[in-house]
Chain A
Amino acid sequence: MAYSDKVIDHYTNPRNVGTLDKAKKSVGTGLVGAPECGDVMRLQIEVDENQVITDAKFKTFGCGSAIASSSLATEWLKGKTVDEALAIDNMAIVEELALPPVKIHCSVLAEDAIKTAINDYRVKNGLPELEMPKSHH
């Protein structure tokens, strides 16, 4: 199976790899997936007082498409408000990276990671937890 140029680009030059201080109140962390399934994503956001995401970092254990999906997600998150971030749909990732059907789960995982990170941030800041969409797979 050939990878799209965009997947190769994100895999070769992943954006925003790293770790934010998860103890900080302004940081939300989403850890999704499972080692048994062959992919684990950790996505972190830092949110300012205006609900704007000022920084995003990721680390991913998985195939090229999983790495690219999370790398792309961090790129999209930076500068967005939390509400805008919540609107990111996995199919937008599929489209942008031209993921084949067998790799759609990578985009779903990235969407789950964004929502989990936002929820973590919300809970830390005394906001009610949002209901997570049912896992698509």
Chain B
Amino acid sequence: MLTLPIYLDNNATTPLDPRVLEAMMPYMTNMFGNAASRNHAFGWQAEEAVDYAREQIASLINCSPKEIIFTSGATESDNLALKGVFEMYASKGNHIITLTTEHKAVLDPCKHIEKMGGKVTYLQVDEKGLIDLKELEEAITDKTILISVMYANNEIGVIQPIREISAIAKKRGILFFTDATQAVGKIPVDVEADGIDLMAFSAHKMYGPKGVGALYVRRKNPRVKVTAQMDGGGHERGMRSGTLNVPGIVGLGKAAEIAKQDMEADTKRIAAMRDRLERELTTIEESYVNGSTEHRLPHVSNISFKYVEGEGLMMGVKDLAVSSGSACTSASLEPSYVLKALGLSDDLAHSSLRFGLSRFTTDEEIDYAIDHVKEAVAKLRELSPLWEMFKEGIDLNSIEWAEH
């Protein structure tokens, strides 16, 4: 049975896996202890649960449980990594290198760091959304303390060459931080093999609960430290104070365990559905896949349907929960900066839809999505003056548009 609406916005958030909820439930009710209470069974129970979650997570990303710092989510982890490294390593330098296509949770802390006297280089990406390693090497100065490059992009799913980047960082004695929010739990992420020094991720992008995430902070080769951004009881090895969110952490741990166990089977099934969706939708005339299809997460597809505006299209597929690179609702009216960074013209950026599948997506849902997107695009093109001009062979660039 098909239940509407269909959720295909899993890069925004994923549903909570029932197995995760089940693991969390006792810690929401009778096992309510504070993990920092060292003097009674309630505290011990909570601490034990947290330690177990640390192990589950460490096993997923191949690190030591001691290297996991729990936070409220990836945004906090990003802030802690960037600002924490900037403060901790101030005597070594003040320069950070990142990408223009990073999430705002990285870009905005970088802007903050610039205000604090730091220097940030924002590297451009190529038309596939990938970093240019030569440009990265050239951007490094003797003041560079950190390279911050996301593992996989949230809008187009493009995976950066993490090992090549970390090799460059290591060679030059610079720390490497990656925002892996979209990657952890979806594709194999191994902090040792990948050469990662700090890594941010979040539970709610991998079928866990909202409000909990982690920052991986390397303890050996090199030993990395970050300055705490919140003062308090000195929890999490002094790097992140605040009473631990025990049920959330248990959820993150369980989500990590399931991800490790099911990843291969999940990926195979999800990628097959994503590929079918993409294959069918690109049979639509003048449709284009955005970003690299070679280096990409298995569950994401970002497609532009030329001459149709994304927000109007989303309204036409109202039974599908997707998102668009069109920012028609935002005050700026600017389309997605990520798509623009790929060199997409504004009109193509306005015409994009992002589909994000999950382990709960079904073939039936994909069938429905294919039909409805095709219908909506056809309907809106009937309404589109640009489509009519295109069909008449008029070059839209030859028209003097009144910018408004």
Hey, which bits of chain A sit against chain B, CB under 8 A? 1, 3, 11, 14, 17, 19, 31-42, 59-64, 66-67, 102, 105, 108-109, 112, 135, 137
Contacts and interface: CB of A to CB of B under 8 A. Distances in A.
A66 B402 contact: no
Interface string B294-321: 0000000000000111111001100000
Interface string B327-354: 0111101010000000001110010000
A20 B78 CA distance: 55
Contact of A34 (B331, B387, B388, B404): B404
B364 interface: no
A38 B333 CA distance: 8
Nearest to A19: B388
Given A34-B404, A37-B346, A135-B402, A59 B312 contact: no
Contacts, number: 100
Interface of B: 307-312, 315-316, 326, 328-331, 333, 335, 345-347, 350, 382-388, 396, 399, 401-404
Given A109-B404, A135-B402, A3 B385 contact: no
A40 B386 contact: yes
B383 A60 contact: yes
Nearest to A8: B315
A42 to B, nearest CB: 4
Contacts of B403: 34, 36-37
Given A17-B383, A135-B404, A66 B345 contact: no
Given A59-B384, A137-B404, A102 B315 contact: no
Contact of B326 (A11, A17, A38): A38
Contacts of A19: 388
Contacts of B330: 102
Nearest to B403: A34
A55 to B, nearest CB: 17
Contact of B385 (A37, A61, A108, A137): A61
Contacts of A67: 312, 383
